[in-house]
Amino acid sequence: MTTPIVRVEGITKTFGDTVKALDSVSLEFQPGIIYGLLGPNGAGKTTLIRVLTTLLRPDSGRAEVAGVDVLADPKAARTKIGLAGQFAAVDDYLTGRENVEMVGRLYGLSIAESKQRADDVLERIRLQDAADRQVKTYSGGMQRRLDLAASLVGRPEVLFLDEPTTGIDPRSRIDIWELISDLVDGGTTVLLTTQYLDEADQLADRIAVIDEGRLISEGTSDDLKDTLGGSVIELSVPEDRQAETIDALRAICGTEPLIHELTNEITVPAVEGAKTLTEVVRTLDAASITPNDIALHKPSLDDVFLTLTGRPAESEETEEPSTNGQRGRRRRRKQ
Partner 1 sequence: MTATTAPTKPGRVAATLPRTIRDIIVIIKRNLLRNLRLPQLIVLSTIQPIMFLLLFTYVFGGAIGGTLPDAAAGEYVNWLIPGLLVQTAAFGAGQTAFGLTEDLAKGVIDRFRSLPMARSAVLAGRTFSDLIRNGFVITLMLVVGFIIGFRYQTSFAGLIGGLALAMVFSFAFSWIMATIGLFVKNPEAVQAATFIPVFPLVFASSVFVPTQTMPSWLRAFADNQPVTVTVDALRGLILGEGALLPGSTVLGQASLSLFYSGLILAVFVPLSIRLYRRSVN
CA distance 22 to 216: 12
Angle at 83 between CA 188 and CA 209, to 5 degrees: 80
Q: Is 135 in the site for ligand ATP (CB under 6 A)?
A: no
- Return the number of the residue (194 or 276) whose C-beta is nearest Mg ion: 194
* N-term to C-term CA, the chain: 53
Residue 106 Cα to chain centre, angstroms: 29
Would you state the torsion angle of the CA atoms of residues 306, 216, 156, 189, taken in this order, to the nearest 10 degrees? -70
Q: Residues 54, 29: contact at Cβ < 8 Å?
A: no
Tell me if residue 78 falls in helix, strand or coil. Answer: helix
Q: Using CB distances below 5 to 8 A depending on partner kind, what does residue 105 bind out of partner 1, ligand ATP, Mg ion, none?
A: partner 1
User: CB neighbours of 148 closer than 8 A, spacing ≥ 6?
Assistant: 84, 125, 161, 164, 176, 179
Binding mask 163-202 for ligand ATP (x = CB under 6 A): --------------------------------x-------
Count of positions on this chain that bind Mg ion (CB under 5 A): 3
Q: Does 98 bind partner 1 (CB under 8 A)?
A: yes
Interface residue with ligand ATP, options 5, 34, 45, 125 (CB under 6 A): 45
Does 69 bind partner 1 (CB under 8 A)? Our answer is yes
The entry of partner 1, Mg ion, ligand ATP, none that residue 78 binds, CB within 5 to 8 Å by partner kind: partner 1
Min separation Cβ 215 and partner 1, Å: 19
Closest distance between ligand ATP and the C-beta of residue 210, in Å? Answer: 7
What sign results for the dihedral spanned by CA atoms 8, 10, 15, 21?
A: positive
Q: Which residue among 42, 61, 167, 273 contacts ligand ATP (CB under 6 A)?
A: 42
CB of 86 or CB of 143, closer to ligand ATP: 86
> Which of partner 1, Mg ion, ligand ATP, none lies near 107, with the C-beta cut-off 5 to 8 A by kind?
partner 1
Window contacting ligand ATP (CB under 6 A); options: 41-49, 196-204, 249-257, 260-268? 41-49
Closest CB to partner 1 among residues 55, 287: 55
Show contacts with ligand ATP in window 76-105 (CB under 6 A).
86
Query: In sequence order, what are the beta bridge partners of 270?
Result: 231
Q: Specify the 3-state DSSP secondary structure of 20.
A: strand
* Residues 6+ positions from 151 with CB-CB distance below 8 Å: 82, 83, 84, 103, 159, 160, 161
Output 78 or 173, the one with its CB closest to partner 1. 78
User: Quick check: 53 binds Mg ion (CB under 5 A)?
Assistant: no
CA distances to 18, 157, 177, 188, 316 from 126, in Å: 44, 22, 13, 19, 27
Q: Looking at 27, 29, 38, 39, which residue binds ligand ATP (CB under 6 A)? A: 39
Question: Binding residues for ligand ATP, per CB under 6 A?
Answer: 15, 19, 21, 39, 41-47, 86, 195
Question: Binding residues for Mg ion, per CB under 5 A?
Answer: 45-46, 86
